[in-house]
Protein backbone atom coordinates (compact mmCIF):
# COMPACT_ATOMS: atom_id res chain seq x y z
CA UNK A 1 0.00 0.00 0.00
CA UNK A 2 1.33 3.43 -0.94
CA UNK A 3 2.05 5.89 1.84
CA UNK A 4 -0.09 8.94 2.53
CA UNK A 5 0.83 12.46 1.48
CA UNK A 6 0.31 15.28 3.97
CA UNK A 7 0.59 18.87 2.81
CA UNK A 8 1.43 21.38 5.54
CA UNK A 9 1.44 25.07 4.68
CA UNK A 10 1.57 28.30 6.67
CA UNK A 11 2.71 31.90 6.49
CA UNK A 12 6.34 32.38 7.50
CA UNK A 13 6.64 32.52 11.28
CA UNK A 14 3.46 30.57 12.09
CA UNK A 15 5.49 27.68 13.52
CA UNK A 16 5.02 25.19 10.69
CA UNK A 17 8.54 23.76 10.71
CA UNK A 18 8.66 23.50 14.51
CA UNK A 19 5.36 21.60 14.56
CA UNK A 20 6.38 19.29 11.74
CA UNK A 21 9.74 18.53 13.38
CA UNK A 22 8.00 17.77 16.69
CA UNK A 23 5.63 15.32 14.99
CA UNK A 24 8.51 13.69 13.10
CA UNK A 25 10.35 13.17 16.39
CA UNK A 26 7.39 11.26 17.81
CA UNK A 27 6.23 9.33 14.74
CA UNK A 28 8.79 7.13 13.02
CA UNK A 29 6.31 6.20 10.30
CA UNK A 30 6.28 9.61 8.63
CA UNK A 31 9.08 11.34 6.73
CA UNK A 32 9.70 14.90 5.63
CA UNK A 33 10.29 15.68 1.99
CA UNK A 34 13.35 17.93 1.71
CA UNK A 35 12.67 20.63 -0.86
CA UNK A 36 15.12 22.17 -3.30
CA UNK A 37 15.49 25.94 -3.06
CA UNK A 38 17.43 28.83 -4.55
CA UNK A 39 17.30 30.61 -1.18
CA UNK A 40 20.73 31.00 0.44
CA UNK A 41 21.20 28.99 3.67
CA UNK A 42 20.53 30.77 6.96
CA UNK A 43 23.05 30.46 9.80
CA UNK A 44 22.93 26.93 11.21
CA UNK A 45 21.16 25.39 8.22
CA UNK A 46 22.79 22.35 6.58
CA UNK A 47 22.44 21.37 2.93
CA UNK A 48 20.27 18.25 2.71
CA UNK A 49 18.72 18.71 6.17
CA UNK A 50 16.55 21.83 5.98
CA UNK A 51 16.74 22.15 2.19
CA UNK A 52 18.76 21.12 -0.83
CA UNK A 53 20.33 24.48 -1.68
CA UNK A 54 20.96 25.00 -5.40
CA UNK A 55 21.65 27.98 -7.63
CA UNK A 56 19.08 29.38 -10.05
CA UNK A 57 20.51 27.73 -13.23
CA UNK A 58 20.50 24.32 -11.51
CA UNK A 59 16.93 24.80 -10.32
CA UNK A 60 15.83 25.93 -13.77
CA UNK A 61 17.45 22.87 -15.39
CA UNK A 62 15.72 20.56 -12.90
CA UNK A 63 12.38 22.22 -13.57
CA UNK A 64 12.78 21.97 -17.33
CA UNK A 65 13.76 18.31 -16.91
CA UNK A 66 10.47 17.56 -15.14
CA UNK A 67 12.18 16.65 -11.87
CA UNK A 68 9.73 18.53 -9.63
CA UNK A 69 6.38 17.30 -8.39
CA UNK A 70 5.59 20.94 -7.67
CA UNK A 71 7.47 24.20 -7.64
CA UNK A 72 6.70 27.80 -6.75
CA UNK A 73 8.27 31.16 -6.07
CA UNK A 74 7.94 32.37 -2.48
CA UNK A 75 9.41 35.59 -1.05
CA UNK A 76 11.50 35.97 -4.21
CA UNK A 77 13.06 32.51 -3.98
CA UNK A 78 12.14 29.30 -5.78
CA UNK A 79 11.21 26.02 -4.12
CA UNK A 80 10.55 22.58 -5.58
CA UNK A 81 9.71 19.04 -4.44
CA UNK A 82 11.57 16.06 -5.93
CA UNK A 83 9.13 13.88 -7.84
CA UNK A 84 11.48 10.87 -7.90
CA UNK A 85 11.97 10.87 -4.12
CA UNK A 86 8.22 11.12 -3.48
CA UNK A 87 7.51 8.17 -5.78
CA UNK A 88 10.20 6.03 -4.16
CA UNK A 89 9.07 6.82 -0.60
CA UNK A 90 5.39 6.18 -1.35
CA UNK A 91 6.18 2.88 -3.08
CA UNK A 92 7.87 1.80 0.16
CA UNK A 93 4.66 2.59 2.05
CA UNK A 94 6.10 5.63 3.84
CA UNK A 95 3.88 8.53 4.84
CA UNK A 96 5.27 11.86 3.64
CA UNK A 97 4.92 15.44 4.84
CA UNK A 98 5.36 18.19 2.27
CA UNK A 99 6.17 21.60 3.73
CA UNK A 100 5.06 23.76 0.83
CA UNK A 101 3.03 26.89 0.17
CA UNK A 102 -0.54 27.17 -1.13
CA UNK A 103 0.67 27.32 -4.75
CA UNK A 104 2.49 24.02 -4.45
CA UNK A 105 -0.44 22.54 -2.54
CA UNK A 106 -2.71 23.20 -5.51
CA UNK A 107 -0.30 21.40 -7.84
CA UNK A 108 0.03 18.38 -5.53
CA UNK A 109 -3.74 18.05 -5.02
CA UNK A 110 -4.25 17.91 -8.78
CA UNK A 111 -1.83 14.98 -9.01
CA UNK A 112 -2.81 13.31 -5.71
CA UNK A 113 -6.46 14.07 -4.87
CA UNK A 114 -6.22 11.84 -1.77
CA UNK A 115 -3.47 14.02 -0.24
CA UNK A 116 -4.54 15.62 3.04
CA UNK A 117 -3.80 19.31 3.45
CA UNK A 118 -3.29 21.26 6.67
CA UNK A 119 -2.89 25.02 7.05
CA UNK A 120 -1.18 26.39 10.16
CA UNK A 121 -2.36 29.80 11.36
CA UNK A 122 -0.86 32.12 13.96
CA UNK A 123 -3.29 33.46 16.59
CA UNK A 124 -3.08 36.93 14.97
CA UNK A 125 -0.95 38.99 12.59
CA UNK A 126 0.40 40.88 15.61
CA UNK A 127 1.63 37.61 17.11
CA UNK A 128 3.06 36.60 13.75
CA UNK A 129 5.09 39.82 13.62
CA UNK A 130 6.31 39.25 17.18
CA UNK A 131 7.49 35.73 16.29
CA UNK A 132 9.26 36.91 13.15
CA UNK A 133 11.12 39.58 15.07
CA UNK A 134 11.92 37.28 18.00
CA UNK A 135 13.55 34.60 15.86
CA UNK A 136 16.00 37.19 14.56
CA UNK A 137 16.53 35.65 11.13
CA UNK A 138 15.32 38.46 8.89
CA UNK A 139 15.89 42.17 8.35
CA UNK A 140 13.14 44.71 8.99
CA UNK A 141 12.52 44.93 5.25
CA UNK A 142 12.23 41.13 4.96
CA UNK A 143 9.84 40.99 7.91
CA UNK A 144 7.64 43.65 6.35
CA UNK A 145 7.56 41.67 3.11
CA UNK A 146 6.71 38.44 4.92
CA UNK A 147 3.87 40.13 6.81
CA UNK A 148 2.50 41.53 3.57
CA UNK A 149 2.70 38.09 1.94
CA UNK A 150 1.11 36.49 5.00
CA UNK A 151 -2.16 38.33 4.39
CA UNK A 152 -2.39 36.79 0.92
CA UNK A 153 -1.31 33.35 2.13
CA UNK A 154 -3.93 33.30 4.91
CA UNK A 155 -6.62 34.08 2.33
CA UNK A 156 -6.03 30.60 0.87
CA UNK A 157 -6.58 28.73 4.15
CA UNK A 158 -10.10 27.70 3.06
CA UNK A 159 -8.55 25.61 0.28
CA UNK A 160 -7.15 23.26 2.93
CA UNK A 161 -9.05 20.43 4.62
CA UNK A 162 -7.74 21.21 8.09
CA UNK A 163 -6.75 24.44 9.81
CA UNK A 164 -4.74 24.48 13.04
CA UNK A 165 -4.30 27.68 15.05
CA UNK A 166 -0.86 27.52 16.62
CA UNK A 167 -1.60 29.40 19.82
CA UNK A 168 -0.50 26.65 22.21
CA UNK A 169 2.37 24.66 20.68
CA UNK A 170 1.66 21.35 22.45
CA UNK A 171 -2.02 21.45 21.52
CA UNK A 172 -1.22 22.29 17.90
CA UNK A 173 1.29 19.42 17.80
CA UNK A 174 -1.35 17.00 19.10
CA UNK A 175 -3.80 18.23 16.48
CA UNK A 176 -1.33 17.69 13.63
CA UNK A 177 -0.42 14.23 14.94
CA UNK A 178 -4.10 13.33 15.26
CA UNK A 179 -4.75 14.23 11.61
CA UNK A 180 -1.89 11.98 10.51
CA UNK A 181 -3.03 9.06 12.67
CA UNK A 182 -6.65 9.40 11.56
CA UNK A 183 -5.64 9.31 7.90
CA UNK A 184 -4.12 5.88 8.42
CA UNK A 185 -7.52 4.61 9.53
CA UNK A 186 -9.38 5.52 6.34
CA UNK A 187 -11.47 2.50 5.42
CA UNK A 188 -10.16 2.20 1.86
CA UNK A 189 -6.56 2.08 3.09
CA UNK A 190 -7.16 -0.30 5.99
CA UNK A 191 -9.26 -2.76 3.97
CA UNK A 192 -6.74 -2.73 1.12
CA UNK A 193 -3.92 -3.37 3.59
CA UNK A 194 -5.57 -6.51 5.01
CA UNK A 195 -6.83 -7.72 1.65
CA UNK A 196 -10.53 -7.12 2.30
CA UNK A 197 -12.79 -6.16 -0.61
CA UNK A 198 -13.41 -2.43 -0.82
CA UNK A 199 -17.14 -2.48 -1.77
CA UNK A 200 -19.33 -2.20 1.31
CA UNK A 201 -22.22 -4.14 -0.23
CA UNK A 202 -21.86 -7.58 1.32
CA UNK A 203 -24.17 -10.43 0.32
CA UNK A 204 -26.84 -10.95 2.95
CA UNK A 205 -25.88 -7.84 4.94
CA UNK A 206 -29.17 -6.10 4.20
CA UNK A 207 -31.19 -9.12 5.30
CA UNK A 208 -29.18 -9.48 8.50
CA UNK A 209 -29.67 -5.83 9.27
CA UNK A 210 -33.43 -6.09 8.72
CA UNK A 211 -33.79 -9.14 10.95
CA UNK A 212 -31.99 -7.41 13.78
CA UNK A 213 -34.52 -4.59 13.98
pLDDT digits (tens, 9 = 90+) for 66-92: 999 999 998 899 999 999 999 999 999
Beta bridge partners of 95: 30
pLDDT score of 197: 65
d(CA 64, CA 66): 5
Right CATH for 5-185 from 3.30.70.100, 3.40.50.300, 3.90.1170.50, 3.50.30.20: 3.40.50.300
Each domain of the chain, given as residue ranges in start order, spans 5-185
Q: What is the pLDDT confidence band of residue 108, given thresholds at 50, 70 and 90? A: very high
HSE-CB at 137 with a 13 A cutoff on CA atoms is: 13
Count the helix, strand and coil residues of the chain and give each as a percent rounded to the nearest 5.
45, 20, 35
Q: What is the pLDDT confidence band of residue 137, given thresholds at 50, 70 and 90? A: confident
pTM, 2 dp: 0.83
Q: What is the pLDDT of residues 33-59, one digit of tens each?
A: 999 999 999 989 999 999 999 999 999
Q: What is the pLDDT of residues 184-200, one digit of tens each?
A: 998 666 676 677 665 55
Amino acid sequence: MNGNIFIVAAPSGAGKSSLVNAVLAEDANVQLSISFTTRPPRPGEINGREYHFVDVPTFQAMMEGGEFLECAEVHGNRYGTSQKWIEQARNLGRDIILEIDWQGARQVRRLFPSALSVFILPPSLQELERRLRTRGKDSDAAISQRLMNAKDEVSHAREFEYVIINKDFDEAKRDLGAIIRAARLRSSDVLACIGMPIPLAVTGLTDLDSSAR
